[in-house]
Amino acid sequence: MASLAEKRVEHLEIVENIVEQADAEQSSAQPEGRPEELRLLEALLFASSEPLDTASLAKRMPEGVDIKAALAQLQADYAMRGVNLVRVANKWTFRTAGDLAWLMTRESTETRKLSRAAIEVLAIIAYHQPVTRAEIEEIRGVVTSKGTLDVLLETGWIRPRGRRKTPGRPLTFGTTEAFLSQFSLEALGDLPGLEELKGTGLLDSRLPSGFSVPVPSDDPALREDEDPLEDGELELALAPPVEPEGDAEG
């Protein structure tokens, strides 16, 4: 694990890149003549606890504002600050800077630690989705206890997304937006080490089915070998109700 000092250096490097990019795009970014749209964006994003996508931002902003450029500028403005503008699950939100975690411990609510089994199952779902319980067990070489999946469902980070078109029609699992949000991932492609895993072919866990696609995807659109869940099945599988963000920590 990287030390905190290293992390901070990393953070600064990222920040410098962002700032350079933004400066290149908008050479005349003087603080006084700060465009009003930045104030508006700031206010909207700051006020909300939920990440907002560009479409809903555009809906609230005056006509004709280049939302993407304004977001890039705002991201640069805040890159050096204690609060950063980040993109998670393709939505924008302000969050405290990652290197200040030590300062924020008191804000931290009771965090439940996931068991190693749960972490492993979560990783398998994230990297191999859509994936069935049998496939998870094939990778781990052990039966997954019901409790492990329940705990993960309760976090709101995974969801049953369909049924595999194989005998027994087992549920397929995938990750949610809350998962991306929890781990500050813009998209599933940003999963750490995904490229290496793809390279080794180790992602191809699928039992021979003729449909194997060795790239994880949380695209809600079902794959060819997936059937939709029936009405009401989702509620059953997901109960109890999960808060969209917030208390879903590990």
Partner 1 sequence: MSAEILSFETGRPAVAEQQADDDVALVVDVEGYEGPLDLLLNLARQQKVDLAKISILALADQYLAFIEAARKIRLELAADYLVMAAWLAFLKSRLLLPEPPSEEGPSAEEMATALANRLRRLEAIREAANRLMARPQLQRDIFTRGQPEAIAEIKHPKFTATLFDLLSAYAAQRQQRVLATVHLAKRTVWSLAEARASLERLVGVAEEWSRLDEYLTAYVLDPSQRATVFASSFAAALELVREGTMEVNQKQAFAPLYFRKRMPVAAPDATAAPETPVQ
- What residues make contact with a copy of itself under the rule CB under 8 A? 1, 3-5, 7-8, 10-12, 14, 31-32, 34, 38-44, 46-49, 60, 80-83, 94, 96-97, 100, 102-107
Using the rule CB under 8 A, give the single segment among 16-24, 30-38, 227-235, 242-250 that binds partner 1: 242-250
34 binds, among a copy of itself, partner 1, none (CB under 5 to 8 A by kind): a copy of itself
- The yes or no reply on residue 53 touching partner 1 (CB under 8 A) is no
Nearer to partner 1, 63 or 146 (CB): 146
Asked whether position 204 contacts partner 1 by CB under 8 A, the answer is: yes
Among 62, 63, 108, 167, which residue interacts with partner 1 (rule: CB under 8 A)? 108
In terms of CB distance, is 16 or 204 closer to partner 1?
A: 204
Distance (Å, rounded) from C-alpha 192 to C-alpha 8? Answer: 19
Min separation Cβ 242 and a copy of itself, Å: 21
CB of 21 vs partner 1, minimal distance in Å:
22
Distance (Å, whole) CA 49 – CA 167: 43
Beta strands in 114-170 (DSSP E): 131-132, 158-164
Q: Which stretch binds partner 1 (CB under 8 A): 16-24, 63-71, 191-199, 220-228?
A: 191-199
Should residue 184 be labelled a site residue for partner 1 when binding is judged by CB under 8 A? Answer: yes
Residue 214, classed as helix, strand or coil, is coil
93 touching partner 1, by CB under 8 A: yes
Indicate which of partner 1, a copy of itself, none lies near residue 14 (CB less than 5 to 8 Å, by partner kind).
a copy of itself
By CB under 8 A, which span of 65-73, 87-95, 158-166, 233-241 interacts with partner 1?
Answer: 87-95
187 binds, among a copy of itself, partner 1, none (CB under 5 to 8 A by kind): none
